[in-house]
Amino acid sequence: MNVNSTTDGALRVALVTGSTSGIGAAIARRLGDAGYAVVLHSRSSADTGRAMAAQMRQAVYVQADLAVEADRVRLVDEALAAWGQLDVLVNNAGISKVIAHGDLAAATSAVWHELHEVNVVAPFHLVTLVEPALREAARRRRAGSVVNISSHAGVRPKGASIPYAVSKAALNHMTRLLALSLGPDIRVNAVAPGLVDTPLTADWTQAQALWRDRAPMHRAATPDDIAHAVAMLVDSDYLTGEVLLSDGGLNLT
């Protein structure tokens, strides 16, 4: 078994969902660099996940479809089996559908159910599954930590589609409700990114122009910017129930 070496010598383990690319990969690497043993996850891209785990100092990879309840259970079981404990859960995995907000007919019941299952139900179920381990983390040294990756679209009337934006708004409210329910043993926070520079958003010229022209920081975020925000929330011993907008100040305009 690998031995984790954080600054105080204590073993700490983080599960980061959707962590083989983009924001999730940046979060996983940031926590790994901070001394955490990391459980990587994706629905597909298993080869990438295994390669990434091999490159990191202490990491394992688990493939699971978070839309499937049995896969969520297996993911947590394998995460706990890797090091026998869990201190941090980052609910980063999510899905989106691009539908014009005015095209109500295209936002079918199937779309609503699909997005709600992955973006809301899955994070809640994962928190439920890891609750005992996170409470045990609090007994060992410090409160367990959950960080949900939400979206600017869950705060402002924007986003790829209405069902997507509503799912992220639900995730934000769930973050606050869980913080009330699980403290002081478990802290629950969220980061709500605006536009993030990834291969997926490379051709989003209108959004890029909006952030460049109107955000006080005059640029979109990088995945490392979001990872930094997540690491700050994980490192805190006090913050809970916060939804941290990470949009370069665009919300001010």
Integer Cα distance of 181 and 233 in angstroms? 18
Whether the pLDDT of residue 2 is over 80: the answer is no
- pLDDT for 153 beyond 50: yes
CB 174 within 8 A of CB 123: yes
Helix pair 162-182, 109-116: axis angle to 10 deg: 30
DSSP one-letter string for 20-69? SSHHHHHHHHHHHHTT-EEEEEESS-HHHHHHHHHHSSSEEEEE--TTSH
**CA-based radius of gyration for the chain:** 18
CA angle 245, 93, 71 (to 5 degrees): 150
Prediction pTM value: 0.94
Residue 163 in tokens: 């069902």
Categorize the per-residue pLDDT at 141 as very low, low, confident or very high, splitting at 50, 70 and 90.
confident
For range 204-220, the mean pLDDT: 91
Residue 164 annotated to the active site: yes
Helical ranges in 87-121 per DSSP H: 109-116
pLDDT surpasses 60 at 162: yes
Residue 205 has what pLDDT?
87
Q: Structural domains in the chain? A: 13-243 (3.40.50.720)
- Of 97, 126, 170, give the one whose Cα is nearest residue 17: 126
Confidence of residue 5 (pLDDT cuts 50, 70, 90): very low
Catalytic residue among 36, 61, 164, 238: 164
